[in-house]
C-alpha cells in the first residue's frame, strides 16, 4: 500500500476558489511516459498499458506538454473490456475515484489501458499515473 496526496486549487479570477484535497491509499501505482510524434507522422499514436487484470483504477492522472513544457492537447481513449469515448484533454486530466474511472468504458468495467493520440502539429510528451486496488481485496 502507498499513500498518494492530491492537493489542487481551482480559482476564478476575482471569484471563488475551491480546494481539492484527496488522500488515497491504493495497493500500488504505475507511471508511464510516452513521446508522441506530431500528427501524421509515425508514432503520433500509442497504447499505454496501465494495470493488470483483476484490479480497479482508483486514480488516473494524465499530463501532456509540448517540447517547451507548455500544456498540450492529446486525445485519450480509455480501454477496458470495450473502448470508451475519446476524451479531448488539454494539459491535464485528473480523476480520483474508482467509480468515475470505471465509467469511462462501457458497462463500467475496469480501465486497463489508454490510447493516446496527438492531433497537433508538434511532438508532445504525455505522462500517466494510475493508482489501483486489487479487486476483492
Instruction: Identify the structural domains of the chain with CATH numbers, from first to last.
Output: 28-134 (2.60.120.20)
DSSP-assigned beta bridge partners for residue 93: 62
Place of cell 487484470: 53
Could you tell me whether strands 28-36 and 124-134 are parallel, antiparallel, or unpaired per DSSP bridges?
antiparallel
Give the residue among 114, 92, 128, 117 at the shortest CA–CA distance from 38: 117
Question: What whole-number percentage of the chain has pLDDT above 90?
Answer: 69
1 or 10: which leads in pLDDT: 10
pLDDT band at 97 (very low <50, low <70, confident <90, very high): confident
Task: Give backbone dihedrals phi and psi of 41, rounded to 5 degrees, phi first.
Answer: -100, 155
Q: pLDDT digits over 7-58, tens only?
A: 989 999 999 999 989 899 999 999 999 999 999 899 999 999 988 877 889 9
pLDDT at site 32: 95
Give the predicted TM-score (pTM) of the model: 0.90
Query: Looking at residue 108, what DSSP letter applies?
Result: G
Average pLDDT, the chain: 91
Average confidence (pLDDT) over 70-93: 93
pLDDT band at 137 (very low <50, low <70, confident <90, very high): low
pLDDT at site 131: 94
Give the residue among 50, 17, 52 at the shortest CA–CA distance from 129: 50
pLDDT at site 136: 61
Amino acid at each position: 500500500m502507498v499513500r498518494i496526496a492530491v492537493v489542487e486549487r481551482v480559482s476564478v479570477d476575482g471569484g471563488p476558489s475551491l480546494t481539492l484535497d484527496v488522500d488515497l491509499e491504493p495497493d500500488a501505482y504505475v507511471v508511464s511516459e510516452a513521446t508522441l510524434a506530431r500528427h501524421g507522422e509515425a508514432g503520433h499514436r500509442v497504447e499505454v498499458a496501465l494495470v493488470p487484470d483483476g484490479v480497479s483504477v482508483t486514480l488516473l492522472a494524465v499530463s501532456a506538454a509540448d517540447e517547451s513544457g507548455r500544456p498540450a492537447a492529446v486525445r485519450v481513449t480509455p480501454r477496458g473490456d470495450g473502448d470508451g469515448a475519446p476524451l479531448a484533454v488539454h494539459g491535464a486530466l485528473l480523476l480520483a475515484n474508482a467509480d468515475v474511472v470505471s465509467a469511462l468504458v462501457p458497462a463500467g468495467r475496469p480501465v486497463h489501458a489508454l490510447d493516446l493520440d496527438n492531433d497537433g502539429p508538434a511532438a508532445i510528451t504525455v505522462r500517466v499515473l494510475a493508482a489501483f486496488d486489487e479487486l476483492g481485496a
